[in-house]
Amino acid sequence: MNRRRTIQRDLVLAAVQKSCTHPTADEIFAAVVSEHPSISKATVYRNLNLLVEAGLVRRVPLPGTWPDHFDRTLGDHYHVYCECCGRVSDVDIPYQADLAEQIAESDGFDVHRHEIVFHGICPDCKKKTMREKSCKGENENGTERNED
């Protein structure tokens, strides 16, 4: 159970903390491998899980999109997902603590936490869309799981 400190773990943590873009595991791997070429992708996934478990990093799972993103900001807050480029940003609205209480009353659920994910178009993509006709298909991250 005792954790050992490793260069790999330090690098993964540093990569998340350095980034303000809510990187995916793959993007973190890309960042770390440039400094430490021998690192394996499995090690990145393993350490991200450990760091999330230790509370040093936050996982940002988005409904309907893959893969998960990671966040250096630990406090309660929400996210916006750009449907055009896949970028994830923090949202600057207060935490809606009262919502959970309403449910406990009405449905008998013990609510531990909640997530709000907003979907829209980021300022950059809005600009692009004005010039070109549409930004559909030029999703740089590539893989959206489904589009409803």
Partner DNA sequence: GTATTAATAATAATTAATATCAATAAGGAA
Partner DNA sequence: TTCCTTATTGATATTAATTATTATTAATAC
Residues that bind its own copies (CB under 8 A): 49, 52-53, 58-59, 61-65, 68, 80, 82-83, 89, 91-93, 96, 99-100, 102-104, 106-123, 126, 145-146, 148
Residue 3 neighbours by CB distance under 10 Å: 8
Largest CA distance in the chain: 56
Note the residues at the interface with DNA (CB under 7 A): 1-9, 24-26, 36, 38-43, 45-47, 49-50, 66-68, 142-143, 145-146
Question: 47: buried, middle or exposed (CB in 10 Å: 19+, 13-18, 0-12)?
Answer: buried
Which of the listed partners (its own copies, DNA, none) does 2 bind, with a CB threshold of 5 to 8 Å by partner kind? DNA
Cα–Cα separations (whole angstroms), residue 142 to 66, 71, 83, 91, 139? 10, 20, 11, 23, 5
Work out how close the CB of 123 gets to DNA at its nearest, in angstroms, rounded to a whole number: 25
Which of the listed partners (DNA, its own copies, none) does 107 bind, with a CB threshold of 5 to 8 Å by partner kind? its own copies
